[in-house]
Chain A
Amino acid sequence: MTLPMPDPAAATAGEPGTALVPRRDRILRRLLKDPTAVVCLSILALIALACAAAPLLTSHDPHTSNLADALAPPSGSHPLGGDGVGRDVLSRLLYGGRTSLLGTALATAIAVVIGVPTGLVAGYFRGWFDGLAGWVANLVMSIPAIILLLVVLGTVGQSTYLAMAVFGVLMAPGVFRLVRGSVNAVREELYVDAARVSGLSDARIIRRHVLPVVQAPVIIQAAQLFGIGILIQSGLEFLGLGSTAEASWGSMLNDAFGNIYTKEQLLLWPGLAIALTVAASGLLANALTDVLVGGSAARPKRRRGVATATAVGSGVAGTTGGAGAAGGAGAAGVAKTAGSSGSSGSSGSSGSSRSTEGAEGAGGAGAARAARTVEAAVSTGAEGTARTVGAVGTTRATGSAGVAGTAGTAGSEGPATGADAPAGDTGETADTGEAADTGEAADTGEDESARPRFREDAAQGEGQPQPPLTPAADAPALPPALAPAPADAPAPAPHSGAPVGDELLVVRDLRVSYGSTAVVDGVSLAVRRGEVLGLVGESGSGKSQTAFAVLGLLPPEAQVTVGALSFGGTELSASGAEAGHGILGRRIAYVPQEPMSNLDPSFRIGTQLVEPMRRHLGLSRAEARKKALALLDRVGIADPARVYAAYPHQVSGGMAQRVLIAVAVSCDPDLLIADEPTTALDVTVQAEVLDLMRSLQKERDMGMVLVTHDFGVVADICDRVAVMQTGRIVESAPAADLFADPRHPYTRMLLASTLEDSEPRGPLTAPAVSEGVDA
């Protein structure tokens, strides 16, 4: 698909040189740029350092009690005073910190040392070990930790370190599950298969390809375990279960609790130390999530699933990372991490980022999500459809919650579509969202249509500085009355022969850019009623961006200007077929490339068909259902009732595309915009879907814009063709003329690249020996 391919690297990696710097360095450097991380690291380092340097900071022994100093107020020799039995509080705080920190570090280390290797082996090799380890992990997780600790301490004797070691063992299953989940995801990656075929040993594959992916979630979880460990350890000591021979923060609390009526300040110091350490490690875990999961550690999406990133695919990478982080982690704290990774993770993720390459630079995770949600809403025609603006607004609000909620549970495609649900759900309330947004963008009135809402949003985004827009410079440069002709188009006037006034959709001088990269550069086109316009080009030519701009589905970072955009005689703003006009989903419908990722997996197909009709046509539930069944029948589905009641995963890709076509035509649109509607389908299914689209188009006299890269598809269905190259239409002609007499060199090159008529290669040398073909 055509999204801003131009410079994917620049947006994410910065200068190419960074590629050579080892990843660890980059992570550390990025971590040090995060103020939260720096503060947390400093606090933890300071506490650790103070505890380590205890003998230098205090001359008192933590265990020597001097009854004269019992409950002594702070003084020169006892800066923090004395405790209930006359021990120096400062020295107990420092020496006690040693016990607490070391004990917790021990627990964390044990959890990691047990959890990581077992998780790696179980996830990578599976088989009996996986079964056994999973069984043991479940068993251990079902044991109430505190009770077990009490039992162990009761039988073996009171030792802080033993208690923490046992606690570490109890926490190991959480790490195990996390690692196993991450490994499971990565072992399906093609590059692991490729490594296997390359003859790498399993150990080497694990070290080179699997471990780096596991590393990020494990570091994050370790930081969180550390915080939890401090709390548990202090709790045990507070209950008097630790070793009495050693000072610790928990035992200080115990002592302070005994004297709470006489000297409540004693609670302050250990309490403060515990709170600071726990908060710092928790926040550090969050900062680490941002750096590790939001960055290069995010796994690429398998494109076969979410495939050629429609905007739908785009937000997924970030949440995938989140899902990795949360993957099967039972520990309570981890869900929180997934949330934060979801909300900040999208930027810089490599795999499915193609559609948001522009967006990434601007660091707009919310933006990517918003775009995705809106698109899904449009494609299903859900409530949100009519309210693009509102949907964007509400998605911002609900987005991170939605992602956090689904990241842990859903599979690879789950996060994206799952997160869409809130948008659909909040469709009703979207009105308020819209009100807010339009209020914000109030200065962009109808008359100033060239200055879209996008800019507002882009300006709000925290990312890169946006170069000032120059709509004022662009728009007047083209006298509105003149026939649109891109400066460098050598083709005959694009709309030759189009009777004036018959046009359904007119786009003049459309420009879309991300930062300084223009992806659509002065495109003008017109579609008449009953006409099929093919928009052809290679990836990166801007064909899909053009379609999305008309649909108003571009991410907020996109800077859009348009000389004129009208639909059925109504002028639209540059933000495309904006919801307020009641046009999108009603008069302009959309058929996406990826049928599967454009159906919400959590709703039945019937629901997704009925919703837009109820909304736009005001049908009753029964009427809508009747019409939906008729539509399913019309699009060639053999058993409409069954498909109506089915969930999207229960139907095939071809069937799903038929359903989406049914959704698209359900509200009797005048214009259908189809973005590579058959690219994901098998060739025989493609032929049938094209037949269906052709017959629907004829029957309803719809206009249609078909975005495709396949000249065969163009020849099959299009009346007129516009060929796009690097954001411009280089040639536009009736289909028959274009194929018979391509004018522009680029068109000729493309037509020459089609293999359809190429000579067969012929047999190797001798005629083929008859092969063992089997029935």
Chain B
Amino acid sequence: MSTVAPAERAPARETGPLLSVDQLVVTYPGKGRGRPPVQVLKRVSIDVHPGETLGLVGESGSGKTTLGRAILGLAPVTGGSIGFGGRDISAIGRKERRALSDDIQVVFQDPYTSLNPALTVGDILTEPLLVTGTSGADANRRVRDLLDQVRLPADAGGRLPREFSGGQRQRIAIARALTRSPKIIVCDEPVSALDLSNQARILDLFIEIQERTRVAYLFITHDLSVVRHISHRVAVMYRGEIVETGDAATVTSTPEHPYTRRLLLAAPVPDPARQAERRAARQEFASRQQAAMLSGALTDDTNS
């Protein structure tokens, strides 16, 4: 696919979803003999449309990263389907999966381990191009262009990842995801490891790139404020299931599901007075939940 010029931007919903995950189940075999297998995703369904950001929120262990990895072909799909551009990609072979790398890309959470420390930035960025048979000169040109897109100096190509800060490394990872002009990027907590000010800058970079190229994001994060900033729509995951979906403003300010509410109330506000209110509201909500739990209505994971 080539870069789509902004002028060609089509209305969002004409073509139907770009990515359509339907009743997806991922089960890992139990650790050790005799242990039951662990179902990480329990019939999860989401859609992502072209040019859209779907925020996927959840806590550690909720299965949100596994969903991303399943879409990327890095986690075993044991049930359901993953449709991309109208075809099921949940059980394709290695070769077909490699071909998909034109369309589906990734930015991982940890900019320290997602870049091979032994390769220069230039090598890292040309790698996805050279496999497709692009000439070295073309690849180098593309790298210069990409570095410019993610606001890194042109001479970054000759340096090693360890010479860059976390935010800069994440820019390199974004550039790598963009090399083949994908249709969708799975962003797995891409700003969680970054400083506050970097976080905002990288998010704005993501948005800017999306507006320019109409790439879609599946944006996985545990942070409601991040998801609110970047997402058009939000899906909330809890213990392997999607418990709530809706547009970003609604889900992040007036959520319906008790878990989402708990998540929202637990996020501290940078304002002592309002935080005190939120804290009181959270504690009250927690005690109500506790009471409800005692009457057997809800499960709770306090102390986890």
Contact = CB atoms under 8 A, between A and B. Distances in A.
B137 interface: no
Interface in B1-40: 11-13, 22-23
Contacts of A197: 72-74, 101, 104-106
B118 interface: yes
A198 B198 CA distance: 25
A754 B101 contact: no
Contact of A5 (B112, B165, B193): B165
Contacts of B232: 761-764, 768
Interface string A281-319: 000000000000000110111111000100000000000
A686 B224 CA distance: 14
30 contacts: A16-B163, A20-B158, A190-B113, A193-B106, A193-B108, A199-B180, A208-B119, A303-B193, A638-B303, A654-B303, A683-B59, A685-B304, A687-B265, A691-B283, A709-B195, A710-B196, A712-B267, A712-B269, A714-B270, A715-B274, A749-B197, A751-B270, A756-B269, A756-B270, A761-B228, A761-B231, A761-B232, A764-B52, A773-B235, A775-B241
Contacts of B279: 687, 691, 716
A682 interface: yes
A772 interface: yes
Interface string B81-115: 00000000000001000111110111011101111
A308 B195 CA distance: 12
A691 B284 CA distance: 13
A715 B275 CA distance: 6
B51 A764 contact: yes
B79 interface: no
Given A715-B268, A715-B274, A756-B225, 4 more contacts: A638-B303, A682-B59, A709-B196, A757-B269
A194 interface: yes
A155 interface: no
Contacts of A156: none
Nearest to A688: B302
A194 B110 CA distance: 12
Contacts of B159: 9, 16, 19
A694 to B, nearest CB: 9
A308 B265 CA distance: 26
Interface in B186-217: 193, 195-200, 203, 207
Contact of B110 (A303, A654, A684): A303
Nearest to A537: B195
Given A683-B222, A766-B13, A772 B158 contact: no
Given A13-B163, A19-B120, A763-B232, A204 B46 contact: no
A85 interface: no
A77 interface: no
Nearest to B244: A773
A351 interface: yes
B22 A772 contact: yes
Interface in A12-54: 12-13, 16, 19-20, 23
A199 B128 contact: yes
Nearest to A2: B195
Given A300-B112, A638-B303, A687-B268, A682 B249 contact: no
A304 B110 contact: yes
Contacts of B241: 774-775
A432 interface: no
A69 interface: no
Interface string A648-692: 000011110000000000000000000000000011111110110
A134 interface: no
B236 to A, nearest CB: 10
Contact of B253 (A23, A212, A760): A760
Contacts of B299: none
B203 A682 contact: no
A767 B247 contact: yes
A715 B169 CA distance: 30
Contacts of B275: 712, 715-716
Interface string A689-721: 011000000000000000001111111100000
B56 interface: no
B91 to A, nearest CB: 16
A239 B188 CA distance: 63
Nearest to A680: B60
A603 interface: no
What are the nearest 10 A-B pairs in CB distance? A712-B268, A199-B101, A711-B270, A198-B128, A760-B249, A190-B114, A687-B266, A755-B225, A538-B195, A9-B163
A774 to B, nearest CB: 4
Interface string B47-65: 1010111000001100000
A488 interface: no
Contacts of B73: 196-197
Max chain A Cβ within 10 angstroms of own Cβ: one of B108, B203, B304:
B304
Interface in A707-745: 709-716, 735-736, 739
Interface in B120-166: 120, 127-128, 131-132, 158-160, 162-163, 165-166
A8 B51 CA distance: 38
A604 interface: no
Given A539-B166, A761-B232, A199 B99 contact: yes
Contacts of A538: 195-198
Chain B contact residues: helix, strand, loop or mixed? mixed
Contacts of A198: 101, 105, 127-128, 131, 176, 179-180
B12 A764 contact: yes
A772 B45 contact: yes
Interface of A: 5, 8-9, 12-13, 16, 19-20, 23, 189-191, 193-202, 204, 208-209, 212, 296-297, 299-304, 308, 350-351, 538-539, 636-638, 652-655, 682-688, 690-691, 709-716, 735-736, 739, 749-751, 753-758, 760-769, 771-775
B176 to A, nearest CB: 7
Contacts of A23: 118
A766 B12 contact: yes
Interface of B: 11-13, 22-23, 43-47, 49, 51-53, 59-60, 69, 72-74, 94, 98-102, 104-106, 108-110, 112-120, 127-128, 131-132, 158-160, 162-163, 165-166, 173, 176, 179-180, 193, 195-200, 203, 207, 222-226, 228-233, 235, 241-242, 244-249, 252-253, 262-263, 265-275, 279, 282-283, 302-304
B93 to A, nearest CB: 12
Contact of B197 (A202, A753, A756): A753
Contacts of A13: 160, 162-163
A559 B81 CA distance: 59
A193, A197, A763, A775 — most chain B CB neighbours (10 Å): A197
A621 B98 CA distance: 61
Contacts of B131: 198-201, 204
A111 to B, nearest CB: 26
B94 A190 contact: no
Given A193-B74, A197-B72, A198-B127, A351 B196 contact: no
Contact of A194 (B102, B176, B266): B176
A755 B200 contact: yes
Contacts of A539: 166, 195
B196 A753 contact: yes
Given A303-B112, A762-B248, A755 B59 contact: no
B229 A755 contact: yes
A638 B304 CA distance: 10
Nearest to A197: B106
B84 to A, nearest CB: 14
Contact of B114 (A194, A767, A769): A194
B266 A683 contact: yes
Among the interface residues A5, A204, A755, which one has the most CB atoms of the partner chain B within 10 A? A755
Contacts of B222: 682-683
A191 B244 CA distance: 32
A144 B116 CA distance: 41
Contacts of A761: 53, 207, 228-232, 248
